[in-house]
Structure 1
Amino acid sequence: MDDAAFRLAEARGRETASGPVAVSARYLPNRRTLVVILSTGVEVRVPVDLVEGLAKATSADLSEIEVTPAGTGLHFPRLDADVFVPALVTGITGSRSWMAQQLGRAGGKARTEPKIGAARANGRLGGRPRKVS
C-alpha cells in the first residue's frame, strides 16, 4: 500500500467512525490530568490516577502521548500502555476487574457509623478469626 492509498483509507476510517474521536491529547503534570480533544471540539479531562495503567506513571512517562491514526486510541510509548478513547468518554477507565478493585478500595476506606459499630462488635468477639493453613 502506498502513502496515497493509506491516507485515503485513513480518511474513510474517520468518516465511518461512530462517535467522536481524539484529535490530540496532552498531559497536565501540575494537575496529574489527561486532556483529550475530540473531533467535536469537546475537551475531556480525566485524572490519570483513575485510568488503569497510568496511575503510578511518572510525569515524564505521561508526557509522551500518541493518538492512533483513527483517533480511537491513545498510546503511551514509554509505558507501553493504551487507552480506548470511546470507553474513556463514557467513563470506563479500565478493565472490569480493575474498576471493581478501585470501587472496593474506596468502599474499604469509608468511615460510617454502622461500619465502625460492626468493627467494634467484632473486636469484642475477639476480632477476625485466624487463617488456618
Structure 2
Amino acid sequence: MDYRFFYNERQLPCARLSMDHEAFGLWLTDELGADTEQLTSLLQAVSSLEQGQKSEFQWQGRDFLLRLNRDDAEVIALSMLQDHNLDELEGEDLQFYDAESFAACGLDDFKELLIEWQEFLHD
C-alpha cells in the first residue's frame, strides 16, 4: 500500500493512497484528520486486537464506517450501507464498488498507516 501525506492549501492534512486503497485516504483526510485523540484511541484498539483482548472493533464517522478484526481493516462509505444491510455486504464481492467507497488491508498495514499518519501530524 503506497501513500503520500501532505497539507492542502488550507493547511489541513491530506492523505492519498494507491489504487484499491483510496478509501483509506479519504477516511484519513475527512474522518480522522488531525484528531490526535481519536488517532491514539484507534491505535489502542489495534493493540487490543493484536493482543487478543478484542475480536473486532468498529468506528463510525460522518461518511465512513471503519471495521477492524484481528486480521483485517476495512473502510466502507456509509452511502454504500444505505441500501444494504451491513451483514449482507459481508459475503458480497465488493470489488465492483468504487475504490473511493471501500478499501481493505491487513491489520498490520493499517497499523503502519496510522503510525505514519501520527508521525506526519507531529512533524
Instruction: Please give the range of the TM-score, normalised by the shorter of the 2 chains.
Output: under 0.3
TM-score by length of 1: 0.25
Give the number of the structure whose residues are more often strand, by fraction.
2
TM-score by length of 2: 0.26
Radius of gyration: which is bigger?
1
